[in-house]
Structure 1
Amino acid sequence: MADERIIAALDVRTLDEVKALVGQLGDSIIFYKVGMELFYAVGPQVITYLKSKNKRIFLDLKLHDIPNTVAEGLISLMKFGVDIFNVHASGGFTMLSQAAQRIKEAAHAAGVRPPKLIAITVLTSMNETDWRSLGMTMPIAEQVVNLAKLSQRAGLDGVVASPREAAMIRKACGRDFMIVTPGVRPRGTANNDQSRVAAPAEALRNGANQLVIGRPIYAAPNPKAAVDSILAEIAAV
């Protein structure tokens, strides 16, 4: 059985690239992330394709708008039957709570299981210099924990945060709160545009439930070998 702790990011632009990668990875990956780059390029057909292959899907569109717009957007996206949606925690408590409540109501009315709803805390590309340029005075880690607690109070299932903050979130929000971590870089791979990173096993030991891994997989000379190496690293965690 595939390890659902690994979510492979499909940060590509064509359905042909998706099919090639999914074909190479086969049964080793069950969970895929579809982000803006891919969804805006090919639309819902990528969701249809992944579901035809019995894959699970994290639709990573990072909704952030006034409360009603976000809630209605999520309800519209529910028709695709994906497993995880996300919004920006910085949209505030009202936006978060309305999104969580209304997506559950819509799922109940449709007779389907509601997707997991998680909130972006602070993007993993953000470093302290960028953070201060926004006028922020508290450290990134402190704000990440604040946003995680806010999201939990609003009724969300979890958050997206860097692996460096996972342990603090786990301590603040308990073991049932979902933590999804991008910014995961296997040892020996480049950080690229990520600032707050950790290796896969370290991220899991810090409290992460699932790891979003993109370029170290899809840009590898042999993506299947890259996944096998990651799976071997986390097998004992």
Structure 2
Amino acid sequence: MSAHRTRLIAALDTASYDQALQWATALDGIVDAIKLGLEFTYACGLDAVKALGNRQDLFLDLKLHDIPNTVSSGLRALTPIKPRLMTIHALGGAEMISRSRATLEDAFDNDEKRPKLLAVTVLTSMNEQSLNEIGINATPLDEVVRLGRMAIRAGADGLVCSAHEITALRDALGDGPELVVPGIRPAGSNTDDQKRIMTPAQAAQAGADWIVVGRPITRADDPAAAAQAIQNELQAVTRCR
């Protein structure tokens, strides 16, 4: 039996610091990390992000995408927050990714404390038609693998992908890259605007290192109970592997 355990990130998507704090407090000790993204960061500011990040492991999901110098400078400005995971867009290219990795290595003497640099491949709200509309004539799977190979070669620690691409990425890249998987919906949940989704158990069985769950937890009558149910599902899959 493998010792690998798929870990749970709760996405705290809100513009309210009080609401995010309430969720974070309720989920403390249940989830493995919290995710703060564009909505919270823009509405509440970096001091608020740092305050919540000091409470528990943080996935800072800002998906930086610009010229290499701008992205590396932006990452350097974010290093005082000390997130465990942070994101840039793979479509920014190899130089942007390699410069970003170098910036983080320079800012953190201890590699164990350096945030893991994740490259976002294809957003889970996109399908083949969506890609074609922006001039990418490929399936999501083919595009994810192409971007994933480039990003890992350039220095990314891992990738953000949908659960449907985990197996292909493992075949192409091995077990080394950390795979963080959004678009996770427990059985019976509303799919909302996600198109390429799986249940927690399916994603864990496929080999996700982390899964990201938002609305099924935060919109539940009891977020802590909803998160614990997902953890129980993940642990059951781990025991079976």
Residue number in structure 2 paired with 1:139: 139
**Matched residues in 1 for 2:205 and 2:112: separation?**
33
State the secondary structure of the residue aligned to 1:135: coil
Structural mapping, 1:110-121, within 5 Å = 113-121=113-121
Code of the residue aligned with 2:231 in structure 1: it is L
State the Cα RMSD in Å.
Answer: 1.7
**Matched residues in 2 for 1:233 and 1:30: separation?**
14
Alpha-carbon shift at residue 111 of structure 1 (Å) = 9.2
Code of the residue aligned with 2:72 in structure 1: it is A
RCO higher in structure (CA 8 A, sep ≥6): 2
Structural mapping, 1:32-51, within 5 Å = 32-51=34-53
**C-alpha offsets along residues 14-72 of structure 1, whole Å, 9 cap, x if unaligned?**
1110121122223212400010000111112333332443x000110000000011011
**C-alpha offsets along residues 125-180 of structure 1, whole Å, 9 cap, x if unaligned?**
00122111112212110010111111110011001000110111111111111000
Q: For residues 104 and 222 of structure 1, do their structure 2 counterparts lie closer, same or farther at Cα, with a shift above 3 Å needed?
A: same
Alpha-carbon shift at residue 106 of structure 1 (Å) = 2.4
Residue number in structure 2 paired with 1:227: 227
Residue number in structure 2 paired with 1:27: 29
Given that 2:105 and 2:111 are in contact with CA atoms closer than 8 Å, whether structure 1 keeps it comes out as: no
Structural mapping, 1:174-185, within 5 Å = 174-185=174-185
Alpha-carbon shift at residue 83 of structure 1 (Å) = 1.1
**Matched residues in 2 for 1:5 and 1:120: separation?**
18
Alpha-carbon shift at residue 112 of structure 1 (Å) = 8.2
**Matched residues in 2 for 1:220 and 1:156: separation?**
34
Gap runs ≥5 in structure 2: none
Given that 2:6 and 2:207 are in contact with CA atoms closer than 8 Å, whether structure 1 keeps it comes out as: no
**Matched residues in 2 for 1:132 and 1:62: separation?**
21
Given that 2:6 and 2:208 are in contact with CA atoms closer than 8 Å, whether structure 1 keeps it comes out as: no
Q: Do residues 163 (structure 1) and 163 (structure 2) align?
A: yes
Residue number in structure 1 paired with 2:97: 96
Code of the residue aligned with 1:65 in structure 2: it is D
Residue number in structure 2 paired with 1:74: 75
TM-score, scaled to structure 2: 0.92
Alpha-carbon shift at residue 235 of structure 1 (Å) = 1.1
Q: What percent identity do the matched residue pairs reach? A: 39
Structure 1 runs (4+) greater than 3 angstroms displaced: none
Residue number in structure 2 paired with 1:58: 59
Residue number in structure 1 paired with 2:217: 217
Given that 1:217 and 1:226 are in contact with CA atoms closer than 8 Å, whether structure 2 keeps it comes out as: yes
Code of the residue aligned with 2:95 in structure 1: it is T
**C-alpha offsets along residues 57-110 of structure 1, whole Å, 9 cap, x if unaligned?**
0110000000011011101100111111110000011111111122212223x9
**Matched residues in 1 for 2:28 and 2:155: separation?**
35
Given that 1:164 and 1:197 are in contact with CA atoms closer than 8 Å, whether structure 2 keeps it comes out as: yes
Residue number in structure 2 paired with 1:150: 150
**Matched residues in 2 for 1:148 and 1:71: separation?**
20
TM-score, scaled to structure 1: 0.93
Given that 1:9 and 1:214 are in contact with CA atoms closer than 8 Å, whether structure 2 keeps it comes out as: yes
Q: For residues 154 and 14 of structure 1, do their structure 2 counterparts lie closer, same or farther at Cα, with a shift above 3 Å needed?
A: same
**Matched residues in 1 for 2:90 and 2:123: separation?**
11
Code of the residue aligned with 2:214 in structure 1: it is G
Q: Do residues 125 (structure 1) and 125 (structure 2) align?
A: yes
State the secondary structure of the residue aligned to 2:108: helix
Given that 1:87 and 1:119 are in contact with CA atoms closer than 8 Å, whether structure 2 keeps it comes out as: yes
